[in-house]
Amino acid sequence: MSINPSDKIVLEGMQFYGYHGVHAEERVLGQSFIVDIEIVLDLRPAGLSDDIGDTLSYSVVYAIVKGEVEGPSKSLLESLAEGIAQKVISNDIVVSTTVRVRKANPPIKGAVVSTVGIEIYRTKNCDY
């Protein structure tokens, strides 16, 4: 049986305070981060059984993201997103994930920008 690529768990707009960035001030003062994640997996078993054991709990996903964003400082959003993606993709039932990480009110001299961010897509058995 193949996986329906339309089956997804989605968490949007998760907000955390973290200490990530290239500039020393970002790592000392911290800032707000917004994370969205889409996880492709087969939701049919959970739909048929109505059993949380047949899916990936939103709480587990939230805890992974929170642990990464509120964890040790990283210079790049790319590294932060990669850490999230690798932890999520390590779950046996996950096929792929898309992770978006944004900084709210980024420190860009002379610019007014509400957010900046990155998006990565990771899948199992992918040799880039």
Total tally of structural domains belonging to the chain: 1
| Catalytic hit among 74, 87, 103, 124 | 103
Answer yes or no: is 128 within a domain: no
pLDDT tens track for 2-54 = 666 689 999 999 999 999 999 898 899 999 999 999 999 999 999 999 999 99
Answer yes or no: is 3 within a domain: no
What is the residue range of 110's domain? 8-123
Tell me the CATH number at 12. Answer: 3.30.1130.10
What is the per-residue DSSP string for the chain?
A: ----TT-EEEEEEEEEEE---SSHHHHHH-EEEEEEEEEEE--HHHHHH--GGGS--HHHHHHHHHHHHTSS--S-HHHHHHHHHHHHHTSTTEEEEEEEEEEES---TT---SEEEEEEEEETT---
* pLDDT attached to residue 128: 44
Answer yes or no: is 2 within a domain: no
Higher pLDDT, 38 or 111: 38
Catalytic residue status for 103: yes
Answer yes or no: is 1 within a domain: no
Answer yes or no: is 57 within a domain: yes
pLDDT tens track for 73-107 = 999 999 999 999 999 999 999 999 999 999 988 77
Answer yes or no: is 106 within a domain: yes
Answer yes or no: is 84 within a domain: yes
